Structure 1
Amino acid sequence: MTMQARQLEMNQALLLFTSFFLILPALCTNYLMHPGRRVCYRGAASSTSLSHTESFVQPVHKPYLTFCEGHRLCSTYRTSYRVSYRQVIRKLPPPMPECCPGWRRVNSHSCNQAVCAKPCAHGGTCAKPNQCACPPGWTGRYCLKDVDECSSGTHACAQQCQNIAGSYQCGCREGYLLSSDERSCEQVDQPVPNKTTNKLNNADEEPVASDQMKEEVQDLRSRVEVLEQVIQTPP
């Protein structure tokens, strides 16, 4: 590569580099001045100028003649001061963009916080203008409406569900008990018959059978006595 070609390439690179830095400020200015997300301008977005009159002290030099050394005339000047006035034009910075309705700034240059006309209830937070983000169990614009999990089928109960304010409670049918997770149900074991109780029941039934046998024995004895009397009586 010749020296002339290399010099030409360096000149082109330098021109491109210089053009970039000349265009960059204009791009940045347009970007900063352009309304962003949740930002609304009111009035002119461009900068304005302010003109006012200000006073200043102006020195005034007055020439005069005097005698110098050798009794020669010399020309010199005397300085005095006077108050003068001038017109000053000061360029004002562009106005600060304002937040759109429903948004405001909180410790930031951007409009980062939504505004709700009413406070969000039950621990909700304002997520959008006049719209709260509600915790589980509540809904509505300001989290004032209870969610009926039992009717909507969003509960986790295994058998029965009872709706309460902001939540729900699970229950179980007869013969089941609620588990430790307060969601599922466990079947209750049936009571095992007690042997002592069975013995008592059998003991209660034995006297009934014994009374019947006694009556039969007594009847047989009566018949035997009648027969003995008949045999012993002479004809």
Structure 2
Amino acid sequence: MCAKMSSRMYKGMRVSYAQRVCCNGYKREGERCVPICANDCGHGRCIKPNVCACDTGYVNLNSILANRCIPNCLGDCHNGQCINPGVCECATGYKLETKTGHCRPV
């Protein structure tokens, strides 16, 4: 929580007081302030403003603007697409080499 200073007149005197508000990058949900992620984390949850913590089997690519949790595959699934944790779908003309996780030409 952050404090926002305000003032008002009370019986002819200016009275200052602090209001409890959510800090930048957070929003109020009930009595709590929760972080805001500009994009949905996907398979994870927002733990700080624009920072996702991923579920098991997913990785966070904070270096890209999407900041989403994407499936993680052995060998980064070169020449294919990681469609679920540990599930690499190779591009046409390629076959998965299970030991390395790379899709090799057929």
Question: Given the two structures, how large is their TM-score scaled by the length of structure 2?
Answer: 0.53
Aligned position for 1:127: 47
SS at match of 1:96: strand
Contact 1:49/1:89 (<8 A) preserved: no
Contact 1:136/1:166 (<8 A) preserved: no
Percent identity over the alignment is: 25
Aligned position for 1:116: 37
What amino acid is aligned across from residue 167 of structure 1 in structure 2?
A: P
Q: CA deviation at 1:116?
A: 0.6
Unaligned runs of 5+ in 2: 61-66, 88-106
1:146–1:167 distance in 2 versus 1, CA, 3 Å: closer
* 1:100-136 Cα shifts (integer Å, max 9, x gaps): 211122111x43x111111122x32211110112122
1:118–1:164 distance in 2 versus 1, CA, 3 Å: closer
What amino acid is aligned across from residue 168 of structure 1 in structure 2?
A: G
Higher strand share: 2
Q: CA deviation at 1:92?
A: 5.2
What amino acid is aligned across from residue 50 of structure 1 in structure 2?
A: M
Unaligned runs of 5+ in 1: 1-38, 52-87, 153-162, 170-235
Residue 50 in structure 1 maps to residue 9 in structure 2: yes
Contact 1:127/1:133 (<8 A) preserved: yes
What amino acid is aligned across from residue 57 of structure 2 in structure 1?
A: G
**Cα distance in 1 between the residues matched to 2:55 and 2:49:** 18
Q: How many residues were matched structurally?
A: 77
1:104 to 13, 17, 27: 27
1:167 to 73, 78, 85: 85
**Cα distance in 2 between the residues matched to 1:137 and 1:106:** 29
Which of structure 1's runs of 4+ aligned residues deviate more than 3 A?
90-93
Higher helix share: 1
1:129–1:49 distance in 2 versus 1, CA, 3 Å: closer
Q: Which has the higher contact order (CA 8 A, sep 6+)?
A: 2
Residue 137 in structure 1 maps to residue 50 in structure 2: no
**Cα distance in 2 between the residues matched to 1:49 and 1:99:** 21
* 1:190-225 Cα shifts (integer Å, max 9, x gaps): xxxxxxxxxxxxxxxxxxxxxxxxxxxxxxxxxxxx
**Cα distance in 1 between the residues matched to 2:86 and 2:9:** 66
SS at match of 2:19: coil
* 1:83-103 Cα shifts (integer Å, max 9, x gaps): xxxxx5266572413222111
Greater radius of gyration (CA): 1
SS at match of 1:97: strand
Aligned position for 2:102: none
Question: Given the two structures, how large is their TM-score scaled by the length of structure 1?
Answer: 0.27
What amino acid is aligned across from residue 41 of structure 1 in structure 2?
A: A
What amino acid is aligned across from residue 105 of structure 1 in structure 2?
A: R
What amino acid is aligned across from residue 38 of structure 2 in structure 1?
A: A
